[in-house]
Structure 1
Amino acid sequence: MFKIKSIEISGFWQSNRVATTTFRDDVNIIIGKNGTGKTTFMNIVHAVLAVDGDALFDNPFKSVTLTLVDGKRTRTVRAERHETKTSPYPFIEYHISNRKFVAPLVGLDDGRPTVIRRRAAEDLQRIKHELGSFVSVASLSVYRIGGDADPEVRERMVRRVASPVDLRLQSLMHRLTQYQLELSSAAREVSIKLQRDVLTSLLYAEQKDAEKGYRLDFDEATEKQNLVSAYKQLGVAGQEVSKKIQDHISAVGATIRHLQQQTAKTKGKDAAPAGRIDFSALEAFRLTRTVVAKSLDAEEKTDEIFSHVNLFLDTLKKFIGDKIFSFVGGELVVNTEGPLPLAKLSSGEKQLLILLIEALLQRQRPYIFLADEPELSLHIAWQRNIISAIRSLNSNAQIVVATHSPEIAGKFKECLLDMSDILHV
C-alpha cells in the first residue's frame, strides 16, 4: 500500500495561501502555535484520503495534490473542490492516476432531498473504493465523531447522547471483538490440523534409515510436561488422562533403564538379551514423540497467531499497571478488584485504548495513521511514550500527528514539521 510522499493544498483557509510539505514514511509530527492551521491541515488530509463527504463539505479548499509512493512506484491523487453558480451545491472532482471521479457534496444540515444525499453517498463510495485499492488510512481525532465509525453503533450511541470518545471506543471495541474471533478461528484450524496429523501418524509409514531403531535419551519430567502440553493442545485433559500419561512415562522409563542395563552388561559381546524387554513401551514412546513434536509445532503457530494481541495487552499493562486487561469470549474486559465496565475508565484511559486498538487493528500492514492532538487527556508520561507504543504495534504505519505536546515532539525531533514552514502565500 502507498504512503504520502508530499502534499500541496491550495486555497487554504479559502485564501490564496498554499500548504505544502514532504513526509517521512515513518513518523511526522506537525507543531505550531494555536491558530496556525494544524487542525485544518489534518482535517483536509483526512477528508481527501478517507473520501469523507462531511469533512470535504466542512473544510473548503481549491485543490489538494497528493504524491503517494510504495517503494519505487508513484501515484498522484488530485482533488478539486468546485462551487459554481450553475450548480445548487459544491462538488468534488478526484483525479486518481488517469481516472476522473465527480461527487456532489451535501452537508449534514443542508436540508437536501434524500435522493441527492443518496447519489452523493454512492458517488463518494465509488471514489473511496478506488482510492482504498492502494491506500489504507486510519484517522483519529477522538474528540470528534469520526465518519468511519460503524453507522449502527453511531446511531445507537447518539440516541444515548454519548460523547464522541465513547462513540469511537464503542466502534473500535466492536471491530476488536471481530478481530479476536478471527484469530480464535485461525487457532481452531491449527488445532484441527494437529488432531488430523496425530491420527494419521498412527498409520503405517515406511521409516527412513535415520528413524529406525529406538532413541534412549529420556528425561521423565520433560517428557511428562511435553505430553501434558500436547494433550491439552488436542483438547484432552483431566485426571484420567494424567494417570495414563504417568503410567506411560513409568513404563517407558522402566523399559529404557532395563535396556540400558542389559546393554551395559553385554557390552563387547555379540548380542544383548532382549526377551524380557518391553518393546511395546518403546514403540509407544516413538509414537508419543511424534505427537509431542507435532504439538510443539502447533503451539508455536498458535502463539504466532496471538502474538500481536499479546503485545497489545503487554503494552496496555505498561501504561495502566493498576488494571488487568484480558480477552474473554472475544471481548476485551477490564478488572481491578472485580470487573470494571469500559464506560467507567477515565477519559485518558479511553483515549489510550482508542489509539492502541486502532494501531492493533491495522494488523501490521502499511497504513497512513492520522491523529490530531493525540495527547488530549493523556498523562505526561503516557504522552512521552504513545508514539513509540503505536510504532511497536504497527511498525509499517506512516504516522502523521498534529500536537501541542513537547513530550510527544521531544522524542522525535528529527520528525518535526513546523506549520509556519508548511503554510505560505
Structure 2
Amino acid sequence: MELKQFEVKGLFNSYDHLVSFPTTSGVAQQPAIVIIHGRNGVGKTTLLRMLDGIMRLDFTTFRNVPFSEAKLTFDNKRALQVKSETADGKLKYLKVSYGKYQAMLNPNHSGALTEEEQLAVSNFRDEFFRDVVGIAFEYIDIERLSRIKEARLSEAQLEALAMPREYYFSPSGKIVSNGLNIKSKKVRDSSISLDKRVAEFINSAQINYRQFFSSTEPDLFPKILEKLSGHETVDIEKDKLKSQLRFVIDQDKITERFGLESDKWDYSQIVSKIDLLDNHPGTKQNSLTILSVYAEHLASRAQERKLVADRLLTFEKLLSEFFVGKEVRIDSVEGMRISTAGKKPLKESDLSSGEYHLLYLMVSALVTKQKGTILAIDEPEMSMHIAWQRKLVSALIRCASGAEPLFIFATHSPDLVSSYREAMIDLG
C-alpha cells in the first residue's frame, strides 16, 4: 500500500493544493522523491503536518488551520477524507471517512463529537490502522530539531525528545510528547538516540535482511535442490570452489567490523578435504557437488551481510564528505561513534546544529526498510551551508541503497532542488 496523492482545498481560505506521489514499480529499487517548493505562507509545512496527522489519526492541525476539505488517496484506490464543517466562521466539527466508515470529531480536542459517535470513531481508526500497518511514516521537523539543539539539553533529554514523532510514557501513565497529552493508538516507546537507532538497524538486518533490501536473486533452496537432484549437470572445478570459499572469508573480515556475525566453519579443513578428493576419483564429482552446495549456502549468507555492510560503509563515506574535523564510524557495540580528527569522543549534543541535522537525516535514510518507509522532511536546508544543500538529496538516496523509501521535502531552497527539477511541485 503506497501513497498516491494528497489534495487539500481551501487551505487558509485561499489555496487549493494537489501533491501526487510516485509509486514504486518493484523493479527500479530506487528511492522516490517529491519536493514541495514555494514561497512563504503557501502551506508547505502545513501540508506535511496534515499528512503526518492523517497517518497518525491526530487531527490537531486540521482543527487549528482553516481549510474546507483534505483527501489522502492510496494506490489501492482507498482514501481518507477530512471535511471541515463550519457555521458563522467557526468550526462545528470535523467529518472523517475511510472505506465504509465515517465519523464526526470534536472541534476543540481529540475524540468523537458526541458519545454516540465513539463507536464510529473506533471502527474508523481500526480500519485505517489495519490497512497502513506496513507503512513507516516519519515527519522530521528541522526547526523543532533546532530548538532542541539550541536549548543545549542533556543527553538524556535529547534521547527523549529528538525523535519528532515518537512518544513515551510519563510517570503518571499518560502518553506525552513535548509535554502534551497524546491520544493516539499508534504509539511507540522509541525515544532513542541516533547511535541506538543504528545498532537496532544492524541487529534487525542481520536477522532478516529482506525487510531492508530489495533482492532479485531467486531463493537459494530451490537452486540447491536442483543441483542435488542431478537435473543440473555441472562440472565443478576445485579451484573455483576454493575461490568461492575464499570470497566468503575475505567478505567476513569486512562485515565483522560492524558486528555482523559470520557463519561458523573451518576454511582450512574444507580445503584440505577438497584436495584429498583426487585420491577418490569414483566419488569425487558427487563430493564436489555436495561441497559446492555448502559453499553456495555460505556465499549466499555472506552476500546478505555484504548488503548491510555496503550500506553502512556508504553511510560512513558520505558523512566523511560532509564533516570537517569530525569522524562518524559504525561501532559493533554502540552502533555509532562520533569523534574529532584527534579521536576524541563526541556526543550527538556536541555537534553544531547543521551537523546534527545532517546526521539525523542520514541515520533516518540508513535505517529505511525495503518498502513502506516515508520520510517527510520540513526545511532540510536549515542551518546547512549551500554546498551541503546541493548534495543533500543525492546523499540521502545513496544512503538508503537497496531500499525504496519515499522522500518528501518541503523547502524554500533553490539549491536543494537544482538537480531534481522533475520531482518538484511548485505551490502557487
- TM-score, scaled to structure 1: 0.64
Residue type of the alignment partner of 1:413: R
Q: C-alpha distance in 2, partners of 1:31/1:182?
A: 35
Q: Offset of 1:306 from its aligned partner?
A: 5.2
Q: Which residue of 2 aligns with 1:403?
A: 411
Q: CA separation in 1, counterparts of 2:397 and 2:120? A: 34
- The 3-state SS of whatever aligns with 2:388 is helix
> What's the CA shift string for 1:93-143, capped at 9, x where partnerless?
2111332033436569xxxxx999xx9999978655543444533211133
SS, match of residue 66 in structure 1: strand
* Residues 1:91 and 1:364: Cα distance change in structure 2 (over 3 Å): farther
Alpha-carbon spacing, 1:54–1:307, altered in 2? closer, same or farther (3 Å): farther
Give the total of aligned pairs: 357
Paired position in structure 2 for 1:193: none
SS of the equivalent of 1:401 reads strand
User: Kindly tell me: are residues 130 and 280 of structure 1, through their superposed partners in 2, closer, same or farther at Cα, counting changes over 3 Å?
Assistant: same
Distance 1:34 1:236, change over 3 A: same
Cα deviation code 1:331-372 (max 9, x no counterpart): 233344143322222222221122223233431324443221
Residue of structure 1 equivalent to 2:185:
none
Counterpart check, 1:100 vs 2:102: yes
Aligned ranges 1:96-135 → 2 under 5 Å:
96-104=98-106, 127=124, 129-135=126-132
RMSD of Structure 2 on Structure 1 (CA) = 4.8
Q: Are the counterparts in 1 of residues 3 and 21 from structure 2 also a CA contact under 8 Å?
A: no
Contact 1:28 1:400 in 2 (8 A): yes
The Cα of 1:288 is off from its aligned counterpart by: 4.8
- Provide the identity percentage: 18
Q: Which residue in 2 is equivalent to 1:259?
A: none
Q: 1:126 to 1:7 in 2, by over 3 A?
A: same
Q: Structure 1: 5+ residue runs without aligned partners?
A: 109-113, 160-167, 188-196, 257-276
| Structure 2 spans left out of the alignment, 5+ residues | 23-31, 145-160, 180-189, 210-219, 253-260
In structure 2, what residue type is equivalent to 1:295? L
How far does the alpha carbon of each residue in 1:295-320 deviate from its partner, in whole angstroms, 9 at most, with x for none? 21221233345555554444434434
Distance 1:28 1:230 in 2: 36
Q: Going by fraction, where is helix more abundant, 1 or 2?
A: 1
Q: Name the CA shift for 1:174/1:127 in 2 (closer, same or farther; >3 Å).
A: farther
- Matched with 1:17 is 14
Contact 1:53 1:124 in 2 (8 A): no
Q: Give the aligned partner of residue 54 of structure 2.
A: 48
In 2 relative to 1, CA 233–106 (structure 1 residues): closer, same or farther, beyond 3 Å? same
The answer as to whether partners of 2:330 and 2:337 remain within 8 angstroms in 1 is yes
- 1:93 counterpart SS class: strand
Q: Give runs of aligned pairs for residues 381-400 of structure 1, distance below 5 A.
A: 381-392=387-398, 393=400, 396-400=404-408
Letter in 2 for 1:21: L
1:151/1:92 CA distance change after superposition, 3 Å: farther
1:178 aligns with 2:178: no
Contact in 2 for aligned 1:105/1:120 (Cα 8 Å): no
Query: Is 1:358 equivalent to 2:361 in the alignment?
Result: no
Amino acid at match of 1:23: S
Q: How does 1:190-209 map to 2 (within 5 A)?
A: none
DSSP 3-state at the match of 1:363:
coil
The Cα shift of 1:407 comes to 0.9
Larger radius of gyration: 1
Distance in 2 between residues matched to 1:41 and 1:369, nearest whole Å: 14
Secondary structure at 2:73's aligned position in 1? strand
Which letter maps to 2:103? F
- Write the distance in 2 (CA, Å) between the matches of 1:363 and 1:349: 24
Q: Is the 8 A contact 1:77 1:96 kept in 2?
A: yes
**1:264 paired residue number:** none
Alignment partner of 1:234 is 2:263: yes
